[in-house]
Structure 1
Amino acid sequence: MIHGAGDTGWYWHLVTPLLRAHGHDVVTPTLPGGPVGLTEYADTVVEAVGSRTGEFVVVAQSFGGFTAPLVVDRLGASALVFVAGMVPKAGESPDGWWTGTGYPGPSGDDDLFFHDVPAELAAEAEKRPGAHSTTSFDEPCAPLPDVPTRYVLGLRDRFFQPSFTRRMVAERLGIEPEEIDAGHCVALARPKELAELLLG
């Protein structure tokens, strides 16, 4: 499970035990800061998986969508799930994604990320910022893998507004997203519902 920009593996901490209760192993690495790019992010995820074997599913939140194709390829994963994720085209860089998708910008509300997360949990999340890469994200993305792919959309997402996300998902994945009544931080706002969707 790959977190988004400026976050850590802690982002998934409410979903992880729900998946493990159903017999799934879950790996939630924290991506590094410093002079690193998508390749180093993928290295971190693969190293965290280690010697585990079996059937892998890659779940990617937000910016994690750019690391996910590399990880799916390297692990031979059988499925990919974007959670409020950036869906790249082959050869597109993260820096180019905003223009390439016609991203309209956020909805204009002050709180883009934690408006529907319980206050104490939001405060804890704000104490746990992740390290940022100091490298410009102009590295081209790998092609999307040819594996079953799903997309989870937050109906109250102020950062990636639902109307924009539905269009992007239709154009880039050719599927309809599965919807949860949540903002951008789905795993914090609606962990039970997200776990149920993943298990399904």
Structure 2
Amino acid sequence: MTTFALVPGAGSDTWYLGPLAAELTRRGHRAVPAELPCDDDTATLETYADAVVAAVGSDPGDLVVVAHSFGGFSAPLVCDRLAVRELVLVTAMVPAPGESASDWWEATGQGAARAAQDARDGRDPDDVVALFYHDVDEPVADEALRHERAQSATPFDQPWPRDAWPDVRTRYLLCREDKLFPAAFVRTMLARRLRGVVPEVVPGGHHPMLSHPVELAAALLR
């Protein structure tokens, strides 16, 4: 049995990870969505990593850490606290040493990539539902909006504290229909920041744990 520590993205809670956790549990594994103090202005990236450790416990056994979106900034810090067999990034941000999440967008060219995607799709840049939940059933999308939480700027403005990526096997799951982090953008970012990590393509937009939890669980277990 593997313990999957599920690290959410910005401004979200464990509800978003519920369908994926249920699928992993159904397949005989332990899935632990971590509740992060995203609305606490005193909480740092280290605080987030500590919250993941507190959720899984000090002896989780065979541990895989799964990071969604902004979780890419805090999940690698878990590797400094626990023995992690594998780190899986699900349409996640990949930080550089000393770079803040606030600076990441311009440094990686995400803004231009998203603007180009918006233009191709003919999408209003302010349409949050079309950006994040275009592939999610309407009742689920409505519930997701109700679960949105305020995200403190503190961890976003903090320079990433590691001097290199952890020496842990790393995988990246690229979501085929993601409008926030389009496929070409992700491939370029990985080529520059995690050389040797070839993205694995999975179905879904930016929240595949809501739209394709079965396929996402299968990809994690491959």
Same fold (TM over 0.5): yes
**Counterpart amino acid of residue 79 in structure 1:** E
Partner of 1:191: 213
Q: TM-score, normalised by structure 1?
A: 0.94
2:156 matched to 1:137? yes
Q: Indicate if the aligned counterparts of 2:45 and 2:155 stay in contact, CA closer than 8 A.
A: no
Bigger Cα displacement from structure 2, 54-63 vs 123-132? 123-132
Query: Which secondary structure does the structure 1 equivalent of 2:80 belong to?
Result: helix
Partner of 1:60: 67
Instruction: Specify which of 86, 89, 94 is matched with residue 82 of structure 1.
Output: 89
1:136–1:105 CA distance, 2 compared to 1 (3 A): farther
2:221 matched to 1:180? no
Query: Which secondary structure does the structure 1 equivalent of 2:19 belong to?
Result: coil
Unaligned runs of at least 5 residues, structure 1: none
Partner of 2:171: 150
Instruction: Specify which of 12, 17, 36 is matched with residue 17 of structure 2.
Output: 12
Query: Which secondary structure does the structure 2 equivalent of 1:157 belong to?
Result: coil
Partner of 2:40: 34
Deviations 1:17-73 (A, max 9, x none): 211122211111221112122111112111112243312111000000000110122
Q: Indicate if the aligned counterparts of 1:34 and 1:134 stay in contact, CA closer than 8 A.
A: no
Bigger Cα displacement from structure 2, 159-168 vs 136-145? 136-145
Deviations 1:129-148 (A, max 9, x none): 12311426222222311111
Higher helix share: 2
Distance 1:187 1:72 in 2: 23
Query: Which secondary structure does the structure 2 equivalent of 1:153 belong to?
Result: strand
Unaligned runs of at least 5 residues, structure 2: 1-5
**Counterpart amino acid of residue 91 in structure 1:** G
Distance 1:10 1:39 in 2: 22
Query: Which secondary structure does the structure 2 equivalent of 1:152 belong to?
Result: strand
CA apart distance, 1:105: 4.7
Q: Indicate if the aligned counterparts of 2:113 and 2:185 stay in contact, CA closer than 8 A.
A: no
Higher strand share: 2
Partner of 1:167: 188
Distance 2:60 2:7 in 1: 18
Distance 2:61 2:155 in 1: 35
CA apart distance, 1:88: 0.9
Q: Indicate if the aligned counterparts of 2:203 and 2:215 stay in contact, CA closer than 8 A.
A: no
Identity of matched residues, %: 46
Deviations 1:138-181 (A, max 9, x none): 22222311111111111111111111011111221122211122
Instruction: Specify which of 88, 91, 97 is matched with residue 98 of structure 2.
Output: 91
Q: TM-score, normalised by structure 2?
A: 0.85
Distance 2:58 2:177 in 1: 38
